[in-house]
Amino acid sequence: MQERDCIFCKIVRGEIPSKKVYEDDQVYAFHDINPVAPVHVLIIPKKHIFGIQHLEPEDECLVGHMFTVAREIAQELGVAPDEELNGGYRLVFNVGKDAGQTVFHLHLHLIGGRSMGWPPG
């Protein structure tokens, strides 16, 4: 999938509408169109990266930044755990088709607002 046809690149460029949660020069975050929990946000790099399998050493800072942004969004949307670790959220990369990856532009799921089971289905 080239940048031109990629659905998340189109979202970054504003060609497909999205409900923005956060944006800076490196990342864009928006509400998932099909939420699996009361809070379901996708954090994506603005540059097209196919997925975890395609990360380059130069992307390490960017991926670290995605986690920092996720933590801030979780705080802002009220799903961060309290001091006793009540509440909370899950951060997920689905890597490959068996894991449920359907969009091949790197994205970090932030899922929260309900209790979740383990292991995931």
Amino acid at 119: P
Residue 102 site contact among Zn ion, ligand 5GP, none (CB < 5 to 8 Å, cut-off depends on kind):
ligand 5GP
Is 107 noted as a catalytic residue in this protein? yes
The first and second tokens of residue 7, run together, are: 């659905």
Q: How far is the CB of 85 from ligand 5GP (least distance, A)?
A: 26
Q: How far apart are CA 59 and CA 65, in angstroms?
A: 10
Residue 48 site contact among Zn ion, ligand 5GP, none (CB < 5 to 8 Å, cut-off depends on kind):
Zn ion
Q: How far is the CB of 77 from ligand 5GP (least distance, A)?
A: 15
Interface residues toward Zn ion, by CB under 5 A: 6, 8-9, 48, 105
Q: How far apart are CA 84 and CA 89, in angstroms?
A: 14
User: Using CB under 6 A, which of 33, 38, 61, 116 touches ligand 5GP?
Assistant: 33
Q: Which is nearer to ligand 5GP, 34 or 115 (CB)?
A: 34
Query: What is the per-residue DSSP string for 23-80?
Result: E-SSEEEEE-SS-SSSEEEEEEESS----GGG--GGGHHHHHHHHHHHHHHHHHTT-S
